A = this chain, B = another copy of it.
Amino acid sequence: MSNLAGSIELYIRRLLDASPNAAICLQRRELAEHFACVPSQINYVLSTRFTLERGYLVESRRGGGGYLRIRRLDLNRDKVLQLLEMRQSLAGQNLSLQKATDFVHRLVEARLVTRREGLLMKAVISFEQQKRDDVLEIFRGVMLSRMIEVLLHET
């Protein structure tokens, strides 16, 4: 990780791994000092890396004795039910690319789908704006092609 945000993310993940209940509590100011950066950098990391879509929960408190509490949510129980719920929450929604990708990422993290399967899914959802109108006509081929491309990435 050559950039700060990456280092901080790694650091926090390490802490979470080391924690018995996948939950840690720390201070923004301290963390910022540790990495010699402005405190708001911590917020940047939290809001880009430790989102709900990725399966994290962040609580905080201001003022004297303030803190950040970061928890990694456990998806392993009642997988089917949770999948169903997720599916409900997705149905008909107009997902942003970012959210969709994070979601797949989370599925993989939770081991609900394999890495390959996650990649397949991302291949399908991460198409960019296609201006052409006839896109749908050739869509099948394009999507298949993309999915195979994903498998190639696997080697």
Query: B residues within 8 A CB of A133?
Result: 133
Q: Are B65 and A140 in contact (CB under 8 A)?
A: no
Query: B residues within 8 A CB of A114?
Result: 116
Question: A80-B152, A124-B124 are known contacts. Are A144 and B90 too (CB-CB below 8 A)?
Answer: yes
Selected interface stretch from A12-20, A32-40, A94-102: A94-102
Q: Are B155 and A100 in contact (CB under 8 A)?
A: no
Question: A112-B151, A155-B79 are known contacts. Are A103 and B57 too (CB-CB below 8 A)?
Answer: no
Our pick among B92, B104, B143 for the contact of A124 (Cβ within 8 Å) is B143
A138 CB, min distance to chain B CBs, angstroms: 5
| Closest Cβ neighbor of A55 among chain B residues | B152
Partner-B contacts on A (CB < 8 A) = 2-3, 6, 52, 57, 64-65, 73-74, 77, 79-80, 83-84, 86-87, 90-95, 97, 100, 103-104, 112-114, 116-117, 120-121, 124-125, 130, 133, 135-138, 140-145, 147-149, 151-153, 155
